[in-house]
Amino acid sequence: MAIESADDPIARVFAAFPDATAVARAPGRVNLLGGHVDYHEGPVVCLAIDREIAIAMRPRPDGRIVLRSLDLDGTVDIAADGRDDAPGIEPRWGRLVGGVASILAAHGRPPVGLEGVVGSNLTIGGGLSSSAAFEVAVAVSLVHAAGATGTPIEGAELALACQAAERAATGVPCGIQDQFASVLGRAGHALLIDCRSQHVEAIPLPGDIAIVVVDSRVPRTLETSPWPQRRADGLSCATDLGLRVLRDATPDQVAGNPRGRHVVSEMQRVWAFADALRAGDVRAAGALMTAGHASLRDDMEVSRPELDAIVEELLAAGAHGARLTGGGFGGCCVGLVDADQADGVAATVVRRYRERCGRDGMAYVAQAAPGAGVTPLAPVSSRPDA
């Protein structure tokens, strides 16, 4: 099937844990423009999408965090006070849980325990920020479980705590884009995030366009990909110029350095892309997306033949613009298309991708979704089906 229909992770986790007292959710994101610039304190445009991580949960009195995944192997069982060494936790997906617990403890969260079941309809390793969504879902679950005894943490502060948790747990020096999108997403809107000032502007998406996401089914993780080296290359360029990050570089200063050239030109494209979205100029916005992919491919060298093929087929099928989304080296591409053509474009691209690359990709039309939250549930004894 070319167009993927998403199951409902909230329904799945509740069915697996009917004694839950609340369900937390946190969305993934697609990056429309602004690749490899957030760690240079540059601007990005992204949106939270209607694919998410869900956790059915309830507090527990013994100071333990116990989580079971419906999609990954193993059960996480760690101390709620954050004392476990996050990089050493097994199974590996539990390291992010340990990182979040540790960072929230440093923010004053009391060691209230939690048990729950985790489910997702986000592709792992697809460039849709499944790791950030998981961190945020765990964080809002732990904050909710602490209740009135806890230290309130929300909004940008919560997103920054989750960024710190990922850095501590995995060693990946990620920027703030993914966590900010998952926490602060807004239905029907893209987010312009200035990663220096941390100012976030919600920009309405034109009603007659749609976002088509195409999964190459080429997985990758940031820890094992060349992503950390690309980051180091860009920061080395900044150092050579006497700068801390490339947010402060000019085009002339980086003209001879491909990594620096990408970062500086990409930031210029983001500002222009935001202007185009505000004006409803879809053609201009699409052209900037496509130019961004070319720069990621040629100057940043984070694309690969499968991603290039998907971008080419999106454009051939009628997309106004297309690019890889996420850090590159695999995962997904995203296309800006007319809403009434979205399903046809998705089906055509998946068929042509199979013919060109011999891989079964998947595609779907993504909606801009609200940010993370927790929904309390009625006690089991008071539910109609109890």
> For residue 167, how far is the Cα from the chain centroid?
15
Burial (CB count <10 Å: 0-12, 13-18, 19+), residue 216: buried
Beta strands in the chain (DSSP E): 22-33, 43-60, 64-69, 75-79, 113-120, 189-194, 200-204, 209-215, 321-324, 332-338, 362-366, 373-376
Q: What is the DSSP letter of 109?
A: -
Would you tell me how many other CB atoms lie within 10 Å of the CB of residue 248?
A: 15
Could you say which of 38, 81, 84, 178 is catalytic? Answer: 178
Q: Is 103 helix (H, G, I), strand (E, B) or coil?
A: helix
In sequence order, the 6+-apart residues with CB closer than 8 A to the CB of 148 are none
Cα–Cα distances (Å) from 71 to 93, 120, 191, 300, in that order, read 11, 7, 29, 33
The total number of residues shown for the chain amounts to 386
Active site residue 178: yes
Residue type, 363: A
Q: Is 302 helix (H, G, I), strand (E, B) or coil?
A: coil
- Residue positions annotated with a catalytic role: 178
